Chains A and B, each alone.
Chain A
Amino acid sequence: MKKLLSLILAAMMLGSCMAGCAQNDSDSGNGSEGEDGPIKLVVYNNSGVITSTEASDPEIIQQVHDWLLEETGYDVTIITPTAEDDATELNLKLSGGDQIDLFWGDWTTYAKSGAIIPVNEYLDSKGADIVAAWPQEAWDAMTDTDGQIYGIPRSTPVSGNPLWVRTDWCEQFGMEVPSTIEEYEAYLAKVAQEKPAGEGTIPLLADINGKHNSKGLHNTFLGAFTEYGYTNWLDTETNEIKPAELQPGFKDFLETMNRWYEAGYIYPEFANLDVTTIRDLIKSGIVGSAAVWYSNLTLSMYDFQKNFPDAGYDYCREGLTGPAGLAETAAAASTTGALISARCQHPEAVVDLLNFLYDPDNYMISWYGPEGTYWKWTDQENHVYETIGEISGYHFEYCLTIGLPMEISVSGNNPQQARHQQYLSQEHTNLERVKTHFDDGVVYDQARVYEGCPTADDIDRMLAEETVKFIIGSRDLSEFDQFIEQLYDAGMQDWIDVHTQIYFEQTNG
């Protein structure tokens, strides 16, 4: 009996081990199409549209899924990122062989590694509405030197990092919304001294690894101290393209940031912040000013003003200025977009699906859920909608056409997104208050960059790491020249050479 029991136990252990292996195998398979069923598409929606950490109502998700299936014939499954670092999660999934047909990322990175395919032929056959929606500069940023388009754009050059200041606190201090660095520093000093929100008051909330590659401190302030702002620039003395950190004035920027940090103006955790924390802090009413990607503010405004009805945020509409002119640097026409995986078995279907959603009527359902649940048209012809109650059971999972063209193709009264919509439609594309990227439109092919500069990762790390250390004072600014020498020791000249070469090739200089 004992022997039998042992035998059964051993067999069970062996069985579970084998089952584990078998499960692993089946998970990694690509089952994109049934024999006769609809085409199955899997989308990893890391486009940035999903901002809530709460789960949506499964019934509403199912309704949107079924609507898409009925209208397009595609069985679309959405994977929502579970980690703050969604790019890493995505890479793990892609390299693990998971079926992902569509995702968002930087095409120059994924094309280099063979993870994505060009979409020219699919756009020609199925993507007319998509092509029409985006301006040429956005397509240029998604196109390689051979004319291959590697994805659908996500953004155009926009002003994304204004300095948001508490208007009610300005009023309380008898100040205007600051328009210069000096005025702003006076505001910071006042906030730090008065502590209007108590001991936890944060004079300046900034980030350094923000959404859409934004670096709050750099994008918001660097232009005030340097000629070009936070962008590569052409050193006319040597005729070389150099990174922003080598500009005259960068040290002044660091000195100012360090002074603000030492004075307790900058939130000490700025190098370690994620989007959720940033938004929670803003909603809690303790933030005096914010140098973060704009949507962290605009999408938090509803909850913030629910908590503090008389409070508000605004920024200098003419643009904050400093000794070197406009302080804010625009976000460049991005090489980030909607990309189709090389493992996708139905790329034409993916483009067809997206093209279907590049219609305001369909866009609204993908964005806010089925009509009648959380929204309804008030003027369908002109695409004006109104919301019904608070949108809480659907978090935009099926919205796959995120980006300015579709976001401004409709207008409505959703109080939850009122400030966001206002910013998008009236302020986002105003480039007069910012410095634009010097090398906008130039695409630096990552494969070539690594070929010319094998230590490019080391340089990236050094720029990021040492900059923060100078700001928080763990490295003294007297070592700034030594830092520049270290950059060259790590291969900066190779970096400059390869970027200069690519720049002049593409600008015919």
Chain B
Amino acid sequence: MKQRSLREIGRYKMLYLFLLPGLLYFIVFRFVPIAGYVLAFKDVTPFMSLEQMLTSDWVGFRHFREFFNSYYFWNVFKNTAVLAAWRLAIEFTLPILLALLLNELHSKIYKTFVQTVAYMPYFVSNVVLAGIVITLLTTNGGLVPTIMKALGGEATYLLTDPNSFRGVLLTAIGWKNIGWSSIVYVAAMSSVDPQLYEAASIDGASKLQMIFKITLPSIAFAIVIMFIMRIGVIMNEGWEETLLLYSEPVYSVSDILDTYVYRSAMTGSMRYSYATAVGLFKCILGLILVTASNVVAKRLGQNNMYS
């Protein structure tokens, strides 16, 4: 058996060699850092030596207890869940919709143009994105307040308004990511047999019927895989945009686990172990979400991450 495996590796050595850098990446940057979670059960600072960190006393679940007893625990937890749900709704559904629209375009040049324009925001860095948002929203000549005023409204500063902050944040994130996220669906749609559409057309099917009866079922595998993958990263993504745009007046609607971790570890009191504990809590939530969605996908008879 062992010899057979080695023979197999020898036979496909080029493929295994290609696999190696990726594997190393995951080992170095994903698996080795897991050991760092030990800090959640100690009371250390980032300025200690590795030896000091490893030999310091264990504090058990103290940091977890403090976090669960924190006045803002439920607020941060709720914000994380609400923003993640909104982001999932926007970043999962709108790319499919965009891909469906693109799929209906017949002019290849126009389709390429629209695709390019839709993809471009993805390459804008988060810092630049925040700069654009701030410039658009500033009450000192910003485009949005100017329009609001011209339409007879009040030129309020939306970034410090708890009622509008989430809308601004989600619009900015959506604008940046939707085009790029649609690539997979556009590619999947291109592999659908055109004869199916022709047959449906002859049978008198409408555009909507073709979308729901042919296109969407044909790309269901891609939708499910992308959904599970999105669930996996939903707890990690979007925090940079939040960090760059939020401020004290909107903490109540924008402070999520990641920004809480960042503030706890890197500003003010620099509670490194406490922040690590909160980070670990977030990872466990992410793991539960991915596992649950994978199980649900399997039960529904769809492809899952391991099939």
Q: Which residues of A contact B (CB under 8 A)?
A: 3, 6-7, 10-11, 13-14, 16-18, 21, 85, 87-88, 91-92, 94-95, 109-110, 113-115, 200, 202, 208-209, 267-269, 271-272, 281, 286, 342-343, 446, 450, 454-458, 460-462, 464-465, 468-469, 472, 474, 486, 489-491
Across the two chains, which residue of chain B brings its CB closest to A447? Answer: B269
Across the two chains, which residue of chain B brings its CB closest to A286? Answer: B140
The 10 closest A-B pairs by CB, nearest first: A95-B46, A113-B45, A115-B47, A490-B71, A268-B157, A10-B17, A458-B71, A13-B21, A468-B249, A272-B247
Whether A17 contacts B24 by the Cβ 8 Å rule is: yes
Q: Which residues of B contact A (CB under 8 A)?
A: 14, 17-18, 20-21, 24-25, 28, 45-48, 66, 69-72, 138-141, 156-157, 159-163, 247-249, 251-252, 263-272
Known contacts A272-B247, A458-B72, A461-B251; is-contact A91 B267 (Cβ 8 Å):
yes
Whether A342 contacts B47 by the Cβ 8 Å rule is: yes
Complex CA gap A209/B246 in Å reads: 14
Across the two chains, which residue of chain A brings its CB closest to B138? Answer: A269
Interface centre among A87, A268, A468 (most CB of B within 10 A): A268
Whether A271 contacts B248 by the Cβ 8 Å rule is: yes
Which residues of chain B are within 8 angstroms of A486 by Cβ–Cβ distance? 71
Selected A-B contacts with CB under 8 Å, 29 pairs: A6-B17, A10-B18, A10-B21, A16-B21, A88-B266, A88-B267, A91-B270, A95-B46, A109-B270, A113-B45, A113-B47, A114-B47, A202-B140, A267-B139, A268-B139, A268-B156, A271-B248, A272-B160, A286-B140, A342-B47, A450-B271, A455-B71, A456-B269, A457-B263, A457-B268, A461-B251, A462-B71, A464-B248, A472-B249
Known contacts A113-B270, A454-B66, A468-B249; is-contact A7 B17 (Cβ 8 Å):
yes
> How far does the Cβ of B71 sit from chain A's closest Cβ, in whole Å?
4
Whether A14 contacts B268 by the Cβ 8 Å rule is: no
Known contacts A14-B21, A113-B47; is-contact A269 B160 (Cβ 8 Å):
yes
In-complex Cβ contact of A457 among B69, B249, B264 (8 A): B264
Known contacts A271-B160, A465-B251, A474-B163; is-contact A17 B140 (Cβ 8 Å):
no
Whether A200 contacts B141 by the Cβ 8 Å rule is: yes
Which residues of chain A are within 8 angstroms of B252 by Cβ–Cβ distance? 465, 469
Complex CA gap A34/B260 in Å reads: 41
> How far does the Cβ of B137 sit from chain A's closest Cβ, in whole Å?
9
Whether B71 contacts A491 by the Cβ 8 Å rule is: yes
Across the two chains, which residue of chain B brings its CB closest to A273? Answer: B247
Across the two chains, which residue of chain B brings its CB closest to A272? Answer: B247
Whether B20 contacts A457 by the Cβ 8 Å rule is: no
